[in-house]
Structures are given as C-alpha cells and as structure tokens.
Amino acid sequence: MSAVKIRLPTAEVFEPLLAPARYKGAHGGRGSGKSHFFAELLVEECLRFPGLRAVCVREVQKSLKDSAKKLIEDKIQAMGVGSLFDVQTAEIKTPGGGSILFQGMQDHTAESIKSLEGIDRCWVEEAQTLSEVSWRMLRPTIRKPGSEIWASWNPRFDRDPVDKFYRKDKHEPGRVICVQANWRDNPWFPQELEDERQDDIRNDPEAVAHVWDGGYVQILKGAYYAAALIEAERQKRIANVSLEPLMQVRAFWDIGGPGKKADAMAIWVGQFVGREIRVLDYFEGQGQVLAYYLHEFRERGWKDEKKPMMVVPHDAAQTHADNPTGMDFEAQLKKAGFETKLIANQGAGAVMQRIATARRLFPRIWFNRNTTEAGRAALGWYHEKRDEDRNVGLGPDHDWSSHGADAFGLMCVAYEEPQTSIKPAKQVKRSATSVV
C-alpha cells in the first residue's frame, strides 16, 4: 500500500499526546474535543502502522450505538481515506489486515479478556465509569510491546479508578501523559455549544463547573437532594464532623454482589446522636466479595470499640446464585462477628418512601467533608428518569449514583427519633381543713 499523506490540525492542548507513551489521558468538560482528537488519532495510527489492532472499550456497552464506532466512521470519511477501511457491522477492518473492535468491560471475565492480549491501542471511552475491577483487569491485558492505553473522560469524583490513576498516582517520567481540555481549549468550539453553555450559566449554574469546566460532580439541577445539599453547605453542616465516642457506630448498606456484572455495593458509616445524624464515612465497590469490604472497614479504623453495627436491607436475608459461600449476606456478617439489624421491606413505593424520609431528615444531617465526598457526589446526581416523549417521570434513574442514594435512604429509614417523656407532677393529697 502506498503511503497516505494527511494533514490533521491539532488543538494545542492535545499536542503532548502525540508523543509515544504507555498511557495517554484527556479529561475535561463538554465541547473540549477529547473524543474527536482520540478518534482522529486512532485512524491516523491505523494508517501509519498497517495491521494495527485496536479496541474501544467502555464499562457498559449495550449496543454499538453506545460506542465510538460512528464517530470513527465519520472521521474516516472526513479524512478522505474511506477506501482503505472496511466498515462492518460489529468492527472496522483497517489497512494491512488490522481491525478496530468495540467492547464493554462488563461483558468480560478474567478468561475472556485474554482475547485482547494482542491489542496495540486501547481507547477507554467515558473512562470515569470504569470500575476498579475492570481497570485492574484491563491494564495488564494490554501487554503487547509498544501498546498504548488511552482514556478520555469527564471527571466524576477523584476516587474514580481512572481519574485517580492518571491524576493522583505517581509514575515513572514519560510513562503517563495526561492533559486537561475544556471548551476554551477547542479552537473549533461551535456557536451551538456556546449557546448551550450560556443557557446553563443562566439556568443551571450549579452544573457548569462539572459539565463545561471538567470539575468533579457536585450537584445536578433537579436531583432529589440538590436543594438539601446546597442548604447543608450554606449552614456549614458539611464540615469536620467528629465521632461521639459513647454512641454506637452504624454502617448502612446497599447490597451489590461478587459477580462481574453485579451492582455496586455502597456503604455509609454514621451515628445517631440525639436529634442529629452524623455521617462519618462513605465507600463503595463493585464485583468484590464481602472480605474486601470488611478489610476496608479495618483500614478506615472502624474496628475494636468503633466496630459498627451493620444495618442491612431486606434482601440481605436472600442467598444469591452468584454467592460462593451459600450463605445469605446477613449470615455472613454475623459469622464475621458483627451485630446486624435487618430493615424490613417497605413494600410498594419503598424507593420514594426512602427519598421522602431522607428529605425530611436532611436538616439534621451533618457530613464529615473529607470522607464523604464520593457519597455526596452520588446524592447530588441522584435524579428522576423521564420519558421525554410523554413528559412523565419514571422514578429514580438506576445509574452509578443510585447505590449510594439507596444506602443513604436506608440510613434515614432506620433513624430512631430520641424518646423524650415528661413525667407528670407527683400528686400530693391535701388534708381536709375546717373553717370556723
């Protein structure tokens, strides 16, 4: 095949990513051009290195509509090299017998992911949603000499595995190249998106920092707890909250499971102190066995005299098919030496009941700022799913935020109002008197 000469204008912010590196990352808000840059770079790499094998992955890919396939197809045509590529239903055949695949990490097991060992380029789309299990499984799988792993994402919160790896972890010089790109870094930022950005500035200012400027999630307009979180911040109830040593510590669970496709496990740690609910910690995980979370409790100091009572939802009494122990979840906790409390199923409307209870109790809830950030991000995002065609609400959207919100709702349902009683005054029997 004769050499193909193409000229690709590149925004200055992405120029560092043109150098070879094991890991390349770009994070930022909407309209930055992150996805367009990586799609163009991938097509260019396929032309430069005939036979190159690539895969575009995301955590969940229910169909190819969820992937970058259409964007890459558009770039192939825009670059005038359509005759060199064979766009098929499930993949794109590239020059020299190479290919671009599109896959979801939740569809992989430790065995099936070995099929990616010969990949040269791996692009992780919407990388903020990649679970810890998926990220740790993916990295050593892409092992071919000279292979690269690319990631593009709009930050969610700083504990997301990909965000932490690229922006917080320490690496050898030159191994990781990461840039921040936002709308102002895009020389081709269209007027249509600028109009959208101005609309958000006027109508949804709380979302601007995350949506457009690539900041961590704080509060989504219309979220169930948006107004309550803003008020808690204003009243300085998101602060340095201390442990009350004489009061019981409790952990409130939303149960996932150990399977690869299981829902996330979310846990809040708190205390009921008089009329206050003091929220002291939050953590979550996905695809892990119970021992992982018990280890996390110990690592965070929730042991010995601070060992929590485990408050679990009704499904903790069920034994799931993917549970290797054959024991229900509550029984496992008891066997591990924990006191438990099972909250009964509230029946029909239980989810909305939890939301209503949490909203009512929010004015008396205090959050420890540093250890509950990820949980508060979930609360700030938890929102209603809507049918836009009929303009009707469909109840809470079951997404990444719903697990933390469900565990939070369980805490509020389990809250026990302190009992105060006034003893009636002691009755004194008066003796009869006579009047002369």
Tokens of 313: 């939802």
* Cα separation of the two ends of the chain: 132
Q: For the segment 185-220, what is each residue's pLDDT rounded down to a tens digit?
A: 999 999 999 999 999 999 878 778 889 999 987 777
Higher pLDDT, 424 or 411: 411
State yes or no: pLDDT of 257 exceeds 70: no
Q: How far apart are CA 158 and CA 163, in angstroms?
A: 6
C-beta atoms surrounding 311 within 10 Å: 23
Please name the amino acid found at residue 414: A
Summary count for the chain: helices (H), strands (E): 12, 17
Place of tokens 């990781």: 176
What phi, psi does 100 have (nearest 5°)?
Answer: -120, 120
Higher pLDDT, 427 or 182: 182
Would you list the domain boundaries of the chain? 12-185, 217-414
Q: List 392's β-bridge partners, or say none.
A: 387
Q: How far apart are CA 182 and CA 167, in angstroms?
A: 16
Q: How far apart are CA 296 and CA 167, in angstroms?
A: 23
| CATH code assigned to 217-414 | 3.30.420.240
Q: How far apart are CA 122 and CA 99, in angstroms?
A: 12
Percent of the chain at pLDDT exceeding 90: 66
DSSP tag of 225: T
The DSSP element (H or E) to which 179 belongs, if any, is strand 176-180
pTM beyond 0.85, yes or no: no
Q: For the segment 47-65, what is each residue's pLDDT rounded down to a tens digit?
A: 999 999 999 999 988 777 7
Q: How far is CA 333 from CA 340, 405, 415, in A?
A: 7, 22, 21
Q: How far apart are CA 154 and CA 183, in angstroms?
A: 12
Which pLDDT score is estimated for 259?
61
C-beta atoms surrounding 122 within 10 Å: 22
The answer to whether 33 and 183 have CB atoms below 8 angstroms apart is: no
Please name the amino acid found at residue 193: L
| CATH code assigned to 12-185 | 3.40.50.300
Averaged pLDDT, 138-157:
95
Higher pLDDT, 392 or 223: 223
Q: For the segment 113-136, what is each residue's pLDDT rounded down to a tens digit?
A: 888 999 999 999 999 989 888 999
Higher pLDDT, 258 or 69: 69
Supply the angle between the helices 373-381 and 402-414 in degrees, to the nearest 10: 100
**Confidence band, pLDDT 50/70/90 cuts, at residue 71:** very high
Which pLDDT score is estimated for 286?
82
Please name the amino acid found at residue 33: G
Among the residue ranges 142-146, 228-232, 319-323, the one predicted with the least confidence is: 319-323
**Confidence band, pLDDT 50/70/90 cuts, at residue 277:** very high
Which stretch, 13-27, 304-318, 408-422, has highest mean pLDDT? 13-27
